[in-house]
Structure 1
Amino acid sequence: MFGALPIAYFSQKYGIRNGLVILFTTRSIAFFLLSLTNSFICAIGIASLVGLLSRGTAPLIESALVMDADNNITVKMLATLRMIRNIGFAAGGIPAGYTVWVNTTAGYRVIIAISSLIFLLAAIICWQFQNKNIHFQKPHSLLKIVLKNYPFIVLTSVYSLAILSAILLGIGIPLWIIHKSHVPSWTVGLIQTLNTFLVVLLQRQVSKNTEQIKVSISRFQLGVTFAAIGSGILFLAGENSSSIINMFFVIIIVIAFTFAELFIIAGAEGMSLSYIPEGQRTVYFAILNLGFAAATVIGPPLATITSTGTAWWWLIWALFFSCLVPVINFLPKPSTL
């Protein structure tokens, strides 16, 4: 949360290409040092630096792709980017999972060093980009302008609440499988596999026409509705169902929460394009990403409490998401700017 805006300001002043090159080079150096260190304290420090930089990278990549594109092209490119990113998660998960299975110090050092080389390659690729000049405003004046755009701030706040469903999918459901269900723990891997498959298959279709404000609102609402349905099913699953029934529940739940993630992100990003002034996408994308960053801060402890507590917590989540659905319809429209 602390890294996104300063990185966006820097890149808006000195160019997105330069920002990406510096980010990827720094991350490459950090991963290389991480592969060498024997100190836990140093490892935590380096990992914190990587985390600080990683949240600021996505808005820059998005801005580099869609800086001069109209909204129709933008939603298609952002959908393709999310699809490729999920393929990357799956591709990276294979060697990472094998490394964890082998469980040797040398294996961990090698996989982290390979990551360092990948970031270095990314920096070299980004250096080939054109370093487009962006109209620069001082951070304090730009922040005032963004904060005055209250419809966008409200949208970001609601998005941060809705995207908590993705944290429940990534953390809450695996913990529920381990602690509460009667299915084998290996099914935790099924979540990532099924989620990646559905995202790659459906991402572009879900994002179609979301540059239109009415379409993006309906997709946003549909995503939150899926989150409510998934939470309701988890409540009904309870703790005492048989392994076969719970396996069926796991598949349905993962599909519901994956659809929630797909529709929420597509809807929120599509809506955001209508709120962003021309030439300010870098900073506005960074602020929208803060909504997800906020969810990653408050979401994990809530997901842990929910998954290790009683089934009633899932009912609370179902009611929470159900109440959020009509709120989206009353978000301030861009015309109020």
Structure 2
Amino acid sequence: MEAKPRAADRPPRIPGGHDGRRMLLVTFLDRIGSGLWAAVSVLYFTYVSGLSIAQVGTLAAVSGAIGIAGAPLGGRIADRFPLTRVLIALQLLRALASFALLTTDHYPLLLAFSAVGSLGDRAASVLTKLYATRIAGPDRVRYQAVNRTASNAGWALGGLAAAAALTLGTTAAYRWLLAGDGLSFITVALLTLTCAEPPSTTRIAATAGDTPHSRPQTGPWRDRTYLAYVATEMVLFLDDTVFKIGLPLWIAHSQGVPHGLAPLLLVLNSVMVVAHQVPLARYGTTTAAARKLLAPLSAAFALGGIAMALSATGGTVQAVCLLTTSAIAFTLAEMIHATVSWELSVALAPDTALGAYLGVHGLAQSAQRSMGPLVVTAAIATGPLGWTAFGTAIALTCAIQHRLVRDRLRLSPLSVPPVTVSEH
């Protein structure tokens, strides 16, 4: 008889079973489409729609501001209605917004369609995290890490396709990339139809040995410490705007730096996350461990800002090397922050209102999409000094969050039992 493989020799188990794996496929396909568009959106609005730097920054800021409502709205709806059905509706809304952008170059309409897409995107992001939290239970950190790996694998494929399309440099190529984004949303909406509805948060709490009355019953809008934590998260999520707005615009307006470097750095970002997000997740599987990661996170943000600043001080080769270094540093920051954020956002929230709390936490990412473009374009306009200040300010915010979370855990029994990453 063939020997039974030892547990250590078996491939890691994916939390969530069949539906967990199917939702990973949803994430993968979704991000392929998003990677097509994110890699070229700034260039599309610049070269196809003819917008200025200020208009591109304003468009991203306004659409992001409107999208802020998507996170808490999505969280509230998900506590009351079937989660999968809400996700399907949001994916179709995103598809309509993408296709609508193809119909016009009129600035007010571009603003409106981008805002609708942002609203659906932010709500879908929160609900995807809630789905993972419900279906994976105590293995949520590992599932989120695997989900992020699938996400970035999709981003990498989309980014490579975008880089290839940029070699053509035609308006048609840009438009096909945007159409591909819309088609991906339709595909994932159909696939989500086959996913089962996950258990409610109350059931998860009972299964884990928790009870609905073992945590404070205050709502997220009255929880001042949680709101302060969310405020710091708004700053730490700025790495997202660096890759979507900062690097492409900085490259587009830097002499001697090839425009094709922008999507390639996005691909580098995705490849790094695919390779390292799951291994890094094991260092943040408890609330205390996640809080300790805020120190290296601070250093990564500072290094990214300094490298961006120095990229303007030399020739083409030096600029490319420093921009690549900055992309690596900000990617490392992104992975560390993802691990920290997954644990703390759930650990600091009561199980009986998890959807509402995660919806409020989703405001952090939504708000940075609004303020982020303005902050990043201000850093670009200020030059090297602006990028140095940018990295330093985020690094200091890490220290503030470290103190905030420590004080919360000292004063409240809110933290969850230690979560062990499953390696079965």
TM-score by length of 2: 0.69
Alignment correspondent of 1:159: 233
1:114-158, Cα deviation, whole Å (9 max, x unpaired): 54443233222222233356479xxxxxx9611233332222111
Mark the CA change 1:211 to 1:46 in structure 2 (over 3 Å): closer, same or farther: same
Q: Assess, with a 3 A threshold, how the Cα gap between structure 1 residues 336 and 83 changes in structure 2: closer, same or farther.
A: same
What's the CA shift for 1:204? Answer: 0.8
Offset, 1:162: 1.8
Q: Is 1:305 matched up with 2:378?
A: yes
Paired with 1:32 and 1:247, the residues of 2 have a C-alpha distance of 34
CA distance in 1, matches of 2:255, 2:146: 35
Structure 1 stretch displaced more, 324-333 or 78-87: 324-333
Using the TM superposition, name which of 149-158 and 255-264 deviates more.
149-158
1:336 aligns to 2:402 (yes or no): no
Find the residue that maps to 1:69 and give its secondary structure: helix
User: 1:92 maps to which residue?
Assistant: 158
Contact preservation (8 Å) 1:173, 1:307: no
Partner residue of 1:130 out of 164, 183, 196: 196
Is 2:224 the partner of 1:150?
yes
1:157 is aligned with what amino acid? A
Q: Match for residue 61 of structure 1?
A: 128
Q: CA RMSD in A?
A: 3.0
Q: Does structure 1 residue 255 correspond to structure 2 residue 328?
A: yes
Distance 1:130 1:158 in 2: 35
Q: Once the 2 structures are TM-superposed, how far is the Cα of residue 334 of structure 1 from its aligned partner? A: 3.9
Distance 1:320 1:128, change over 3 A: same
Task: Quote the residue 2:348 is aligned against.
Answer: 275
Amino acid in the other structure paired with 2:266: Q
Identity of aligned residues (%): 20
Residue 263 of structure 1: how far off its partner (Å): 0.9
CA contact (8 A) 1:221 1:264 kept: no
Distance (Å, rounded) in 2 between the aligned partners of 1:281 and 1:60? 11
Specify the SS of the correspondent of 1:330.
helix
Unmatched tracts of structure 2, length 5 or more: 1-67, 203-216, 413-424
Tell me if the contact between 1:151 and 1:275 (Cα under 8 Å) persists in the aligned partners. no
- Secondary structure, aligned partner of 2:351: coil
Match of 1:12 in 2: 79
How many residue pairs get matched? Answer: 329
Conserved 8 A contact 1:220-1:265 = no
The answer on whether the counterparts of 2:294 and 2:399 sit within 8 Å (CA) in structure 1 is: no
SS in 2 for 1:184: coil
Q: Give the counterpart letter for 2:393 in structure 1.
A: F
Partner of 2:365: 292
Q: 1:226 is matched with which residue: 300, 304, 320?
A: 300
The structure with more helix, counted as a fraction of residues: 1
Shift of 1:103: 5.9
- Cα distance per residue 1:257-286 (max 9 Å; x no partner): 111111122112222221121143333222
- Classify the secondary structure of the residue corresponding to 2:126: helix
Structure 1 residues 313 and 17: alpha-carbon distance in aligned structure 2, compared to 1, 3 A threshold: same
Call closer, same or farther: CA 1:313–1:279 in 2, change over 3 Å. Answer: same
Does the CA-based 8 Å contact 1:274-1:334 persist in structure 2? Answer: no
CA distance in 1, matches of 2:282, 2:319: 34
Answer yes or no: is the 8 Å Cα contact 1:239–1:311 preserved in 2: yes
Higher mean C-alpha displacement, 23-32 vs 263-272: 23-32
Q: Which amino acid aligns with 2:237?
A: I
How far apart in 1 are the matches of 2:178 and 2:329? Answer: 34
Q: Indicate the residue corresponding to 1:70 in structure 2.
A: 137
Of 211, 230, 246, the residue aligned with 1:172 is: 246
- SS in structure 1 at match of 2:284: coil
2:348 is paired with a residue of what secondary structure?
coil
- Give the equivalent residue in structure 1 for 2:396: 323
- In the TM superposition, what is the alpha-carbon distance from 1:20 to its structure 2 partner? 1.1
Query: Are 1:211 and 2:277 matched, yes or no?
Result: no
Q: Which amino acid aligns with 1:165?
A: D
Question: Retained in 1: the 8 A contact 2:152–2:274?
Answer: yes
Give, in angstroms, the shift of residue 198 of structure 1: 0.8
Question: Counterparts of 1:327 and 1:166 in 2: how far apart (Å)?
Answer: 20
Shift of 1:44: 4.8
What do the CA deviations read for 1:78-106 (whole angstroms, capped 9, x no partner)?
A: 11111111122222234445555546666
Letter in 1 for 2:78: S
**Cα drift, residue 250 of structure 1:** 2.0
CA distance in 1, matches of 2:175, 2:325: 38
Q: Distance in 1 between matches of 2:95 and 2:244?
A: 26
TM, length-normalised to structure 1: 0.84
Structure 1 CA distance, aligned partners of 2:409 and 2:367?
Answer: 24
For the residues of structure 2 that align with 1:250 and 1:32, how far apart are their CA atoms? 33
Q: Which moved more, 1:280-289 or 1:193-202?
A: 280-289
Write the letter of the residue equivalent to 2:296. Answer: L
SS at 2:80 equivalent: helix
- Contact 1:15 1:134 (8 Å CA) reproduced: no
